[in-house]
């Protein structure tokens, strides 16, 4: 069955970066794009961007273009998102999701930015 | 950017009720509208894609309809396990989520 397994929670200091992972299983990794989504506490969902695991091509929400970097490792069927220059506004849960339909989601990574 | 407006923001209903959730796009999204269910502490789950297509494994009491800018999610007979927040989502032009409707039991 399709699964997206994300890395564990992170506590980071303001100004630091965080890199999180999303390991895919149960399907051919390079067949579908992987999206990343932000959910701030008690709020709705924001699309950050997507990466095509086959080509490595990316597209970003303008709001996150200078903040997020998406990469993949095809050999391990894993997608990564690095979030840089963190502030308290970046404290949130970050999800990966598959395909245009966002049909399967990872369990989420809670990132807390605090000194 | 396309904005998605959901109504109501909170809905209280009884078990067995027919429930309707609404979603309005700021422009025509050509039926590229999905619905997700998010229970407390969990990731969103896809219920309906492209307006009216039921995702595999989702109970048939869930259905979707709409066109243009106006879309609806209907639960034909509310069950206790349906308590959750429901998000609409457009993927016609980039990707935008609505703010959600929180569905509670009366």
Q: What is the 3-state secondary structure (H, E, C) of A1-47?
A: CCEEEECCCEEECCCCCEEEEEEEECCCHHHCCEEEEEECCCCCEEE
Residue whose C-alpha is closest to residue B86's, from B3, B16, B15, B19: B19
Chain A residues at the B interface, defined by Cβ less than 8 Å, are 35, 43-47, 61, 95, 97, 100-108
Q: What is the pLDDT of residue A44?
A: 83
Beta strands in B31-80 (DSSP E): 33-38, 45-49, 53-54, 62-67, 70-75
CB contact under 8 A, A101 and B49: yes
pLDDT, one tens digit per residue, over A34-55 is 999 999 976 789 999 999 999 9
Give me A109's structure tokens: 């990574």
Tracing tokens 């800018």 back to the chain, one arrives at B69
- B43 and A44 within 8 Å at the Cβ level: the answer is no
Q: What is the mean pLDDT of chain A?
A: 96
Tokens 């701030």 map to which residue?
A40
Yes or no, beta carbons of B43 and A105 under 8 Å apart: yes
> Residue with structure tokens 């490595």?
A56
Report yes or no: A80 and A19 within 8 Å, Cβ to Cβ: yes
What pLDDT score was predicted for residue A80?
Answer: 98
When pLDDT is cut at 50, 70 and 90, the band that residue B64 belongs to is very high
Output the pLDDT for position B104. Answer: 97
């Amino acid at each position: 069955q399709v699964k997206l397994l994300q890395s564990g929670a992170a506590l980071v200091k303001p100004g630091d970066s965080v890199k999180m992972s999303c390991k895919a299983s149960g399907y051919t990794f390079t067949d579908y794009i992987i999206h990343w989504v932000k959910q701030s506490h008690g709020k709705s969902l924001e699309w950050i961007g997507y990466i095509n695991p086959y080509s490595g091509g990316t597209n970003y929400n303008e709001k996150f273009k200078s903040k997020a970097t998406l990469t993949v490792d095809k050999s391990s069927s894993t997608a990564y998102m690095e979030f840089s220059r963190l502030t308290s506004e970046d404290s949130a849960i970050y999800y990966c999701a598959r395909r245009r339909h966002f049909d399967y989601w990872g369990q989420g990574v809670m990132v807390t930015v605090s000194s | 950017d396309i904005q998605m407006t959901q109504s109501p923001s909170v809905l209280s209903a009884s078990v067995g009720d027919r429930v309707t959730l609404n979603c309005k796009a700021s422009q025509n999204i050509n039926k590229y509208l999905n619905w997700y269910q998010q229970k407390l502490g969990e990731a969103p789950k896809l219920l309906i894609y492209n307006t009216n297509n039921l995702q595999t494994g989702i109970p048939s009491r869930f259905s979707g309809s709409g066109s243009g800018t106006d879309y609806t999610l209907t639960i034909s007979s509310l069950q206790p396990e349906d308590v959750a927040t429901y998000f609409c989502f457009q993927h016609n032009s980039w990707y935008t989520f609505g703010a959600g409707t929180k569905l509670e039991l009366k």
